[in-house]
Amino acid sequence: MKIAIVGSGYVGLVTGVCLSDFGHEVVCVDTDQSKIEALERGEIPIYEPGLAELVKTNVASGRLSFTTDLAQAVPVADVVFIAVGTPSRRGDGHADLRYVYAVARELADAVSGFTVVVTKSTVPVGTGDEVAHIIATANPDADVTVVSNPEFLREGAAIEDFKRPDRIVVGIEDERARAVMSEVYRPLYLNKSPLMFTTRRTAELIKYAANAFLAMKITFINEIADLCEAAGGDVQEVARGIGLDNRIGSKFLHAGPGYGGSCFPKDTVALVKIAQDFGSPMRLVETTVSINEQRKRAMSRKVIAACGGDVRGKTIGVLGLTFKPNTDDMREAPSIDIIQGLLDKGARVVAYDPQGMVGAREIIENIEFASNSYAVADKADALVLVTEWDEFRSLDLGRVAAAMKSPVLVDLRNVYSAQEATKHGFEYVSIGRPVGVDGKPRPGEAAV
């Protein structure tokens, strides 16, 4: 099939590359000339494991190409995916749909013959109706049907998620779209990936409902972690104990500094606004948003407490800046609020991240960057592990402790155990586990 992807950001690029790898002829369209030129040179604007190799392979095969000319790419396409950004609208938190609607207006003049237009962007319920209306108004003769096909890609594992999905949700209002979308995803039938057809509005809601539920799950285990610290429990054992229940499941039950990234923060806020507009408020999601925002800042207070209540003039090393490992995405990363909280209290912050330092320089002021994991620890008064990159999981703790001015380790991802850390002389603090600031078990409790 001939497919055009409008928008060559994270979702658009991954979608286009994977569909071309399925054997379709794909053209990725973007208004950013420099981005398109870079992609044509084989330079990838985002960090996603395995993506560069797939781009190279499929460009070489002739199945994948890049252009800024929508009017050239769309008329020959059987399917056109809209994959532009839908950021939170400044001031009110609603999803900003200006880019989606602008593409719809441009598509209206470019389509030729029967065309399936697919909203891949995360959009509020009813957006597909408006896209259809825009196209029909601008070009009454256009033979177009609009489909909702939300993405469920995890940054850092997007290619695997696209090629081996839990489900493929397709919202249609025209039965002609069923055959077309079935053909788009036909290569996945060998993996028995469930192709779920539903109405367009239902598909739009599925995306928001999924992200909100996962965000609530993260927030729930974070609150349980706080209770564990107060009551002397172990959040990792609690998470395992409830996660073994098939009704609950073990995923997204890892206590930490709060969720971040490009999806959960904006999508939970957008769902709250959508629900309010329909007069059906979602109190659980509202509370989730509030708790998560407060938690990020609370993590800086946790670090300050581990340093004796005062970090003025002290050097704090930070391991990890991106909101999760295996990405360069700094959007809504917990590290931003944690570092700002430390800076506000007079600390000197030195940070290192395998992929996030370029982006962090544009967001966080007055911090220094180290060249590697061990350089962060040099003469530091405390070390804070914020993002659980693999290289941070196997540090030589003896070497780290020897380099520090005072060996305090605040492990916000529970990567290490108290026994391992204290064996190397650390005062150890973790999340939701029964260990005091001195790294020793509280009376009557066993070390983790």
Alpha carbons 302 and 382: distance in angstroms, whole number? 12
CA distances from 260 to 29, 185, 301, 335 (A): 28, 30, 19, 9
Catalytic residue among 18, 228, 263, 307: 263
Alpha carbons 432 and 430: distance in angstroms, whole number? 7
DSSP states of 359-415 as a string?
HHHHH--S-EE-SSHHHHHTT-SEEEE-S--GGGTT--HHHHHHHSSS-EEEETT--
Q: Token pair of 295, please? A: 């938690």
17 three-state secondary structure: helix
Please confirm, yes or no, whether 263 is among the known catalytic residues: yes
242 three-state secondary structure: helix
Alpha carbons 73 and 3: distance in angstroms, whole number? 9
- Side-chain half-sphere exposure of 408, counting CA atoms within 13 A: 24
For residue 204, the Cα-to-chain-centroid distance in whole angstroms is 18
Backbone φ/ψ region at 308: left (φ over 0), alpha (ψ -120 to 50), beta: left
In terms of DSSP H, where are the helices of 89-175? Answer: 98-110, 127-138, 158-163
Alpha carbons 150 and 119: distance in angstroms, whole number? 7
DSSP states of 243-301 as a string?
HTSTTT-STT----S---SSSHHHHHHHHHHHHHHTT---HHHHHHHHHHHHHHHHHHH
144 three-state secondary structure: strand
Phi then psi dihedrals of residue 28, to 5 deg? -95, 125
Q: Token pair of 296, please? A: 């990020």
The letter for the amino acid at 293 is E
Active site residues: 263
